[in-house]
Amino acid sequence: MDERRTTQADIEPAAVAPSRRERFSQRFNALYARYPLRLTALTAIVSAVAVLSMYHALFASRGAMKLTQEDIDAAVQHTLTETVLPSPAVRAYETILPSVVRIESFITDPKTNEEKEHGVGTGVVIVNDGTILTNLHVVQGAERIQITFMDGHKTVGILQGVRPEHDLAVLRAKVIPDDLFAATMASTADLRPGDHVFAVGFPFGIGPSVSGGIVSGLKREFKSPEGGHSMSNLIQFDAAANPGNSGGPLVTASGEVVGIVTAILNPNEDQRTFVGIGFAVPIENAASAVGLAPF
């Protein structure tokens, strides 16, 4: 892969240090962006208990009916009944989303000598210093790599290493946003066919998008129709995946990463649409690409 030499023009200006209030606001907004429905439900419960406590403080001294534990339990139960809790797909999506990035690669058109898009894929932050996993085929041959975080921040992606046998590439973001969340990884040792999984990424550049399905099989082999490269020990899944999902996370209902989406099986080489069989590299293999023990 070609790498450009960093020049002074590539270096992004340093941000002004935020105040304590701004840092608190940033952290709260990042937390709320990650768990909005759960925080909403928690807020509703806390509000219900607070209202009952105020009632007790206001009227107990006047000889009115005392607030009992049964009253509190009933109020909490009513709040839980009236508050719609998120589905597994929503929980998975909200949990992983802050760690998902859009990856665009660019090359120079030899005819016009102008830069053009080479490909679009997905990546996932696995270390909060800006270390990102994606597929090698997403960035292979690129002259420039651009990473877009979920807060809209864009920066240059620097290739740190490759693992061709697993179609993996390790990128480092030149500049990272405040309060960057690294994904939580989960062992595949307990993963079983039938377990629910979700793929989050940018299929055909559209996204972020989420699709859901189940684990269809384990320890599968796949041979790339383009280069004939074979991969083994893959997770087979049926959550819809298409070009652009490549390099994105395959997650559990808890939003924990168990694999990196890497390939889809098509009946012939001309098709690049999902027919129900996708493959992901187990996270143990993916994490070892950056020298990490994931658990």
227 phi and psi, to 5 degrees? -110, 0
Q: Are 239 and 248 in contact (CB under 8 A)?
A: no
The answer regarding whether domain 196-288 maps to CATH 2.40.10.10 reads yes
Task: Establish whether 137 is a catalytic residue.
Answer: yes
Range from 59-73, 100-114, 147-161 carrying the lowest mean pLDDT: 59-73
Question: ω into residue 177 within 30 of 0, thus cis?
Answer: no
Torsion angle of alpha carbons 119, 122, 125, 129, nearest 10°? Answer: 20
Residues 91-106: pLDDT tens digits?
A: 999 999 999 999 999 9
Superfamily of domain 99-173: Trypsin-like serine proteases (2.40.10.10)
Choosing from 99, 105, 166, 167, the catalytic residue is: 167
Q: How many Cα atoms are found within 13 Å in the side-chain-facing hemisphere of 209?
A: 16
| Residue-range domain boundaries for the chain | 22-85, 99-173, 196-288
pLDDT reported for residue 68: 74
pLDDT reported for residue 55: 54
Q: Are 123 and 249 in contact (CB under 8 A)?
A: no
Residues 234-253: pLDDT tens digits?
A: 999 999 999 999 999 999 99
Q: Are 244 and 204 in contact (CB under 8 A)?
A: yes
pLDDT reported for residue 57: 57
Choosing from 105, 211, 216, 246, the catalytic residue is: 246
Residues 7-53: pLDDT tens digits?
A: 333 434 333 444 555 555 545 545 544 555 555 555 555 555 555 55
Tokens 């070609």 sit on residue? 2
Q: Are 281 and 167 in contact (CB under 8 A)?
A: yes
99-173 and 196-288: same fold?
yes
Residues 176-200: pLDDT tens digits?
A: 998 899 999 999 999 999 999 999 9
Task: Establish whether 167 is a catalytic residue.
Answer: yes
Q: Give me the residues paired with residue 107 across strands.
A: 116
Choosing from 99, 105, 118, 137, the catalytic residue is: 137
In this prediction the pTM is 0.72
Local confidence band at 125 (pLDDT 50, 70, 90 cut-offs): very high
Q: Which residue has the higher pLDDT, 76 or 182?
A: 182
Closest CA to 12 of 181, 177, 144, 179: 177
pLDDT reported for residue 77: 74
Q: What share of the chain is helix, strand, coil (3-state, %, to 5)?
A: 30, 30, 40
Task: Establish whether 238 is a catalytic residue.
Answer: no
Cβ contacts of 207 within 8 Å, gap of 6 or more:
102, 122, 200, 201, 244
Taking phi first (over 0 means left), then psi (-120 to 50 degrees means alpha), and beta for anything else, what does residue 265 get?
beta
